[in-house]
Structure 1
Amino acid sequence: MNPYQFLRYTPGSNCGECGWPTCLAFAAAVTKAGVPAVRCPHLKREGLPQELLNGSAAADADSLERGEEERQTVLAAHLRGKMQGLDLRQLAPRIGAAWLADTPDLLCFAFLNRLVRLSAAGILLDGTEPADPRDQILLYNYIWFGGAGSYRKSDGTWVGMESLPNSISKIRTLAAYCEERLAERFSGRVERLIELCAALGATPADQSADAAFVIPALPCVPLLLLFWNAEPEDGFAAKVKVLFDHHVLDFLDLESLVFTAERMADRLLELDR
């Protein structure tokens, strides 16, 4: 059975309860890597072979991970190749990047307060090639999506992930890989979080929270980080909420947007070492 045949047995809602972001991704994991189909709580079991229901995840999880890494590497190379046809001089002001006549094939801009030098030859992040292909995918996607928008500063209209279209499967990912990690690390340490946000070039925001900062992840993609400290006497744990400018989908797709928030969390945790 191939992934598209198996897809008929899933709800098709991309709810993410199985642990994969989409039903198609889960279908590929089941049919290609032996992940048990029963991980989907809404599965239509009638007619499914028993070997798919039980799966062989322990034997094939590593191959699935390797396959995903290979896919990401191929996608990064594809996006890099598409740079050849872009007019970087016209594109630069639309995405808040710098372009110079003496290096016409190069764009420079900031990513979480780190210098990006991007061209069809590759990407340097603070002078080093990113080891994770997802960073390359994110930054090349920013170039492509930014070309469809226009450079603008945030007008102060912020929205949550749940307000963006087709984002149901991404809400839990954002919470797990960004918001919950930051809430746990900085619970009871609000002053340290404020210090580290300043190190990322963030500016304070007028919001009802114990700490609120606009973090310039990319020139046209600011993130509003809201932090509420724990109140043990009232039974409240620390909480983090990340909001986005309402024009954000002019500049990034949803998956890249969630990964941007994850990288913001990574940077804050790295700086906290």
Structure 2
Amino acid sequence: TPKTNCGECGHATCLAFAAAVSRAGEEITLCPYIDLEGLEIVSQGDKKNMADLAEQVTEEQDLALVKYLKSKISSFDFSAIAESLGAQWSADQPDILVIRYLGREVKLGKSGVLMDNDAIVDPRDQILLYNYVHSCGGRKPDGQWVGLESLPNSISKVKTLATYCEEKIAQNFVGKEMNFLTEICQKIDGGPGPLDLSATATVAFVIPVLPMVPQFLLFWDEEPEDGFAAKAKVLFDHHVLDFLDIESLIFTAERMAERIVDMLGEGK
């Protein structure tokens, strides 16, 4: 099992290294703490086996990070931090925080997490939620929106955001009725975006992925006669890093895109 966030791999966090392994082909052996016993190391050319190995190692890292984050918040007084996180707390269940996550109810405890009363399958969602709680909150969103590139140490992530969120949304929004898109975004707690910033957009929504992590989604439909392709842009509150690190923030945008696309496919 790897140690957590030691930095010896060259990445700031284990989550960042896991993402680099699974998406960018980073060398798994850069982490000196991964137990590779029983895992087959293959040649660079064998992409399928390498992908399988990366997936196994990434899952191991994710589970280790979940365990670590649980230990970090085990002593937290949830009643003291609930308001700053936009969470609900009850004296009847003092070790539970209830948090909205893309239109779903999350019950986060010190030993586990439920979403809509079901266990969360993907450990990356648990990592995100425990990271959010671990922040203990910060400055509330105040409507000052910035692009990812305006946040510190984010330049290398701009392409990732475009590929896994903005381009995916643009491809799936193109040609859709405005009322249908509005209905979809309302189902994940979205509301209209500020008019002064969205006047030229086909549709614009502010979607609270987490209570204190709103994302301003703007979409411009294609205009074939003028040679303009469909385009989407996601903006963030300028205080968002009070609540999440860059890696977790990118993951929230990816999850938002996946949730929207899934709902579009279901026709809900």
Please report the TM-score for the alignment, with normalisation by the length of structure 1.
0.79
8 Å contact kept, 1:83–1:119: no
Q: What are the residue-to-residue correspondences of 1:1-273 with 2, within 5 Å? A: 21=20, 28-29=27-28, 55-58=44-47, 59-145=49-135, 147=136, 149-150=138-139, 152=140, 154-191=141-178, 192-205=180-193, 206=195, 207-208=198-199, 209-272=201-264, 273=266
State the alpha-carbon separation in 2 of the partners of residues 121 and 104 from structure 1. Answer: 13
Matched residue SS, 1:217:
strand
Larger of the two Rg values belongs to structure: 1
8 Å contact kept, 2:20–2:26: no
Matched residue SS, 2:228:
coil
Please report the TM-score for the alignment, with normalisation by the length of structure 2.
0.80
8 Å contact kept, 1:109–1:117: yes
Shift of the alpha carbon at 1:83? 2.2
8 Å contact kept, 1:190–1:229: no
Flag structure 1 segments of 5+ consecutive residues without an equivalent.
Answer: 13-19, 33-53
State the alpha-carbon separation in 2 of the partners of residues 26 and 71 from structure 1. Answer: 16
Tell me the amino acid that sits aligned with residue 202 of structure 1: G
8 Å contact kept, 1:187–1:230: yes
Query: RMSD in angstroms over aligned alpha carbons?
Result: 2.4
Shift of the alpha carbon at 1:77? 1.6
Tell me the amino acid that sits aligned with residue 204 of structure 1: P
Tell me the amino acid that sits aligned with residue 183 of structure 2: E
Pick closer, same or farther for the CA change 1:5–1:140 going to 2, 3 Å.
Answer: closer
Shift of the alpha carbon at 1:138? 0.3
Task: Give per-residue Cα distances to partners, 1:141-174, cap 9 Å, x unaligned.
Answer: 00012x1514x2x322100111111112211111
Shift of the alpha carbon at 1:89? 0.8
Matched residue SS, 1:85:
coil
8 Å contact kept, 1:95–1:219: yes
Pick closer, same or farther for the CA change 1:93–1:215 going to 2, 3 Å.
Answer: same
State the alpha-carbon separation in 2 of the partners of residues 83 and 57 from structure 1. Answer: 41
Tell me the amino acid that sits aligned with residue 111 of structure 1: Y
Shift of the alpha carbon at 1:26? 5.6
Shift of the alpha carbon at 1:29? 3.9
Shift of the alpha carbon at 1:27? 5.1
State the alpha-carbon separation in 1 of the partners of residues 159 and 111 from structure 2. Answer: 35
Pick closer, same or farther for the CA change 1:162–1:190 going to 2, 3 Å.
Answer: farther
Size of the aligned set, in residue pairs, is 234
Tell me the amino acid that sits aligned with residue 214 of structure 2: P
State the alpha-carbon separation in 2 of the partners of residues 264 and 190 from structure 1. Answer: 20
Matched residue SS, 1:86:
coil
8 Å contact kept, 2:85–2:137: no
State the alpha-carbon separation in 1 of the partners of residues 20 and 56 from structure 2. Answer: 18
Tell me the amino acid that sits aligned with residue 65 of structure 1: E
Tell me the amino acid that sits aligned with residue 215 of structure 1: I
Tell me the amino acid that sits aligned with residue 243 of structure 2: F
State the alpha-carbon separation in 1 of the partners of residues 183 and 90 from structure 2. Answer: 34
State the alpha-carbon separation in 2 of the partners of residues 5 and 95 from structure 1. Answer: 32
Corresponding residue number in structure 1 for 2:16: none
